[in-house]
């Protein structure tokens, strides 16, 4: 199997610049071999295609496992973010729904995840189905539930609500606002087993059982053999399986469920929130006890928050700030033996700002979150020792190999306490990137306010990685950001020429003047006290007209579109890749792009979930070169300005152009030798003309800039007023 590595600082650069990453080409910290040693990303409400499109970044951020939302069909085709609960009201035991995608898309996700050694686990709803409405109807199955289930009275428990939550029999045999399946019925067990094995056939690596506490154990009053029969029927023995067993201390039978699967340490989540000062003052000691009712750490799945604490009407964690999430995650992910789950909130400022099927906010790839993931993975199997020198300092020591320090205070904090690390000087990763000294078994140093630091006793040679994908590029030049961790110095050379010094995070423009078809090699050497390492990155310049490049404006209701290309010109059909094709890259404003390297023409179809364009049984669009597809129409009008360069200007965009280097711009006025334009990436008005370009006047900052090269979002400029270079992201 391939090994894929975690470029932590490269990912940080990626987040800042918004450029694509090629995780499989990067080398840093190895993902663990097993999900039990790794970290779970709960890609809540993400479609299969949205997850698939982000697999390189997910692997790069250190997540061994991705948990999907429920993949079963559900009772309504609702996609508004506030309707997240619809995914927990299934109608059958098959794969595919409107919100996440169909079975083929799920299988494609699992297949590609395998390439990155990322495991896919599925949220399973086996306790109940969708209900038929409110009032008493909530205890009866929806008319959308498959008839073979809905119409068989033997498949259902009593249509009564739980009246006494301290009564274990009621908790397992009555309804929790949804019609309760008779999980003791052998035919129901068979349907569940067949569904799970179908998911395994598609490539699933494990399962999370929703409302597991409400499915009876064999020795319960009126118990059943559901768990031994279903889990014993699975076609793989190496699956990662856990159950949602929310602790109550009365009817949860927490340790008994933990004997057959991992369970959710819900009480510990509340303890961690107390520790970081959520709705109170910080108290680091609150995070010491796992509060697991005697269950060992290696049987627990832990979290800062879950989809329930965030989304339910009680809003137990909804008001958490990003800083509190960051600090709490550092605590949770640093602990030994538990498997931590990072819940990804919806994007946007509102609680449910985006539609179901859409990628969530960016906190899952926050630099401190990634640093915590990396620490967790590196410390697998190491023992744990906890220290709380004050109410706002939480320290996790992992054997003699690593230490995590979390400062919960709004002020910088001095660290001075015993340490298991060998004597020496340690530069931390994380936002508290400080130097700590261990001498005579005591650690000293200062950590910044509300920050985290991760220390390791391993002295390694530096790691080098870049933010660009090696291989073919299609612009006049490519901007490559060079990154190195643990380096005292970095030097570069191009095509064996003279070396020059760079800083980590510095962008280099490569390939200007290179002829079409030409190759160039960037060599990077990083050095520290332990030695040096050199890596070589190769690029080739190609004519964009020789490769099929498709831009597509997706319908608003679609998630990330896939593009499928085939060639049947010889009489037999040849696929670029198997259906549903390849996920497209987001260009912004609803536009997506994909380049079919090695193909310059073909027939193309677009799809998302069960939707497809052109429609099913219709041939694909016959496309060649670079084209734009919008609302069933194909456009390919390119212009080459003698002074402003190449850009697309079709009536489709009503005044907008797509410039080869500047991206989207709106032309307010363009004569033969001048233009006023709105630059979309920088949200500013520009003026320039044939006499002064590439000098540009920016009305937003009332300043002149000289465009030095690169393509959006990695353009570089010279700021005349400040007399220094700036990147696109640094423009006002």
In angstroms, the first-to-last Cα distance of the chain is 46
SS3 call for 652: helix
Please state, as a whole number, how many other Cβ atoms lie within 10 Å of the Cβ of residue 435: 12
The secondary structure of 118-140 as a DSSP string is -EEEEEE--SB--BSSSGGGGGS
- Nearest C-alpha neighbor of 407 from the set 352, 458, 451, 369: 451
CB 727 within 8 A of CB 716: yes
User: Which residues are bridge partners to 181 per DSSP?
Assistant: 156
CA distance 267 to 270: 5
Peptide bond just before 580 cis, omega within 30 deg: yes
Find how far residue 606's CA is from the centre of its chain. Answer: 23
CB 218 within 8 A of CB 227: yes
CA distance 696 to 79: 43
Query: Is 469 assigned a catalytic role?
Result: no
Alpha helices in 203-244 (DSSP H): 226-232
Neighbouring residues of 533: CB distance < 8 A, sequence distance ≥ 6: 461, 462, 463, 464, 525, 526
CA distance 662 to 710: 9
Indicate the burial class of 249 (C-beta count within 10 angstroms; 0-12, 13-18, 19 or more). exposed
Query: Is 244 assigned a catalytic role?
Result: yes
Q: Which two tokens stand for residue 101?
A: 């995608």
CA distance 725 to 707: 10
Separation in Å, CA 485 to CA 27, 340, 528: 11, 25, 10
Q: What phi and psi values does residue 374 have, to the nearest 5 degrees?
A: -60, -45
**What's the 3-state SS for 313-354?**
CCCCCCCCCHHHHHHHHHHHHHCCCCEEEEECCCCCCCCCCC
CA distance 582 to 564: 6
CA distance 396 to 336: 9
Separation in Å, CA 461 to CA 184, 458, 464, 603, 656: 58, 10, 10, 49, 49
CA distance 12 to 505: 10
Peptide bond just before 43 cis, omega within 30 deg: no
The secondary structure of 164-213 as a DSSP string is -TT-HHHHHHSBSSSPBB-TTSHHHHHHHHHHHHHHHHHT--EEEETTGG
Q: What is the CA radius of gyration of the chain?
A: 28
**Range 412-415, long-range pairs (CB < 8 A, 24+ positions):** 412/446, 412/447, 412/448, 412/449, 413/446, 413/447, 413/449, 414/444, 414/445, 414/446, 415/389, 415/443, 415/444, 415/445, 415/446, 415/447
Check 117, 119, 244, 366 and give the catalytic one: 244
Please state, as a whole number, how many other Cβ atoms lie within 10 Å of the Cβ of residue 693: 17
DSSP 8-state assignment for residue 579? T
Peptide bond just before 713 cis, omega within 30 deg: yes
CA distance 726 to 589: 25
Check 117, 205, 210, 337 and give the catalytic one: 210
DSSP 8-state assignment for residue 643? T
Catalytic residues: 210, 244
């Amino acid at each position: 199997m391939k090994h894929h590595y975690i470029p932590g600082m490269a990912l940080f650069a990626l987040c800042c610049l918004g450029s694509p990453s090629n995780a499989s080409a990067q080398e840093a910290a190895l993902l663990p071999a097993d999900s039990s040693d790794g970290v779970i990303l709960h890609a809540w409400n993400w479609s299969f295609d949205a997850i698939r499109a982000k697999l390189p970044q997910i692997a790069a951020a250190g997540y061994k496992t991705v948990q999907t939302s429920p993949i079963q069909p559900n009772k309504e085709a609702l996609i508004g973010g506030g309707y997240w609960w619809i995914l927990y009201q299934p109608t059958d035991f098959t794969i595919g729904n409107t919100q996440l995608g169909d079975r083929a898309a799920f299988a494609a996700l699992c297949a590609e995840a395998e390439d990155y050694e990322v495991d896919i686990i599925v949220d399973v709803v086996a306790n109940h189905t969708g209900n038929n409405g409110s009032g008493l109807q909530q205890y009866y199955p929806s008319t959308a539930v498959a008839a073979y289930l809905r119409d068989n009275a033997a498949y259902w428990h009593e249509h009564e609500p739980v009246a006494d939550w301290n009564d274990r029999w009621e908790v397992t045999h009555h309804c929790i606002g949804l019609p309760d399946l008779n999980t003791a019925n052998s035919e129901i067990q068979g349907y569940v087993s067949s569904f799970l094995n179908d998911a395994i056939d598609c490539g699933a690596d494990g399962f999370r059982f929703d409302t597991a506490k409400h499915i009876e154990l064999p020795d319960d009053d009126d118990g059943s053999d559901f768990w031994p029969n279903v889990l014993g029927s699975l076609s793989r023995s190496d699956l990662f399986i856990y159950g949602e067993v929310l602790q109550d201390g009365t009817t949860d039978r927490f340790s008994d469920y933990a004997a057959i699967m991992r369970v959710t340490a819900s009480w510990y989540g509340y303890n961690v929130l107390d520790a970081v000062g959520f709705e109170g003052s910080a108290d680091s000691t609150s995070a010491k006890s796992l509060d697991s009712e005697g269950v060992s750490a290696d049987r627990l799945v832990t979290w800062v928050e879950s989809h329930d604490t965030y989304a339910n009407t009680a809003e137990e964690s909804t008001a958490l700030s990003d800083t509190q999430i960051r600090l709490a995650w550092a605590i949770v992910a640093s602990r030994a033996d538990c498997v931590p789950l990072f819940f990804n909130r919806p994007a946007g400022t509102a609680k449910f700002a985006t539609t179901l099927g859409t990628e969530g906010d960016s906190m899952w790839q926050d630099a401190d979150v990634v640093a915590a993931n990396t620490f967790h993975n590196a410390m697998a199997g190491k023992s744990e020792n906890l220290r709380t020198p004050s109410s706002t300092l939480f320290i996790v020591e992992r054997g003699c190999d690593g230490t995590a320090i979390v400062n919960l205070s709004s002020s910088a904090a001095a660290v001075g306490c015993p340490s298991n690390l060998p004597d020496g000087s340690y530069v931390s990763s994380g936002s508290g990137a400080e130097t700590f000294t261990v001498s005579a078994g005591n650690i000293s140093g200062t950590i910044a306010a509300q920050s985290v630091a991760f220390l390791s006793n391993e002295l390694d040679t530096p790691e080098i990685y870049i933010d660009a994908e090696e291989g073919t590029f299609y612009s006049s030049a490519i901007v490559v950001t060079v990154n190195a961790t643990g380096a005292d110095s970095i030097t570069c050379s191009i095509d064996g020429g003279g070396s020059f010094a760079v800083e980590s995070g510095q962008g280099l423009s490569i390939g200007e003047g290179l002829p079409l078809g030409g190759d160039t090699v960037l060599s990077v050497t990083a050095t520290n006290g332990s030695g040096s390492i050199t890596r070589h990155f190769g690029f080739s310049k190609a004519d964009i007209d020789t490769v099929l490049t498709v831009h597509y404006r997706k319908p608003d209701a679609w998630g990330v579109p896939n593009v499928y290309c085939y060639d049947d010109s010889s009489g037999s059909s040849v696929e670029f890749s198997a259906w549903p094709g390849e996920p497209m890259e987001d260009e912004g404003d609803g536009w997506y792009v994909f380049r079919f390297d090695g193909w310059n023409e073909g027939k193309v179809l677009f799809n998302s979930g069960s939707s497809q364009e052109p429609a099913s049984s219709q041939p694909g669009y016959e496309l060649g070169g670079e084209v734009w597809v919008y609302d069933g129409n194909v456009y390919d009008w390119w212009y080459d300005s003698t002074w402003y360069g190449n850009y697309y200007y079709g009536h489709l965009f009503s005044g907008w152009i797509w410039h080869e280097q500047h991206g989207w711009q709106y032309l307010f006025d363009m004569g033969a030798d001048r233009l006023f334009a709105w630059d979309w990436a920088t949200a500013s008005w520009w003026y320039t003309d044939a006499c002064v370009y590439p000098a540009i006047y920016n009305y937003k900052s009332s300043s002149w800039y000289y465009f030095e090269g690169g393509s959006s979002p990695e353009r570089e400029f010279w700021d005349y007023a400040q007399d220094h270079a700036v990147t696109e992201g640094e423009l006002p």
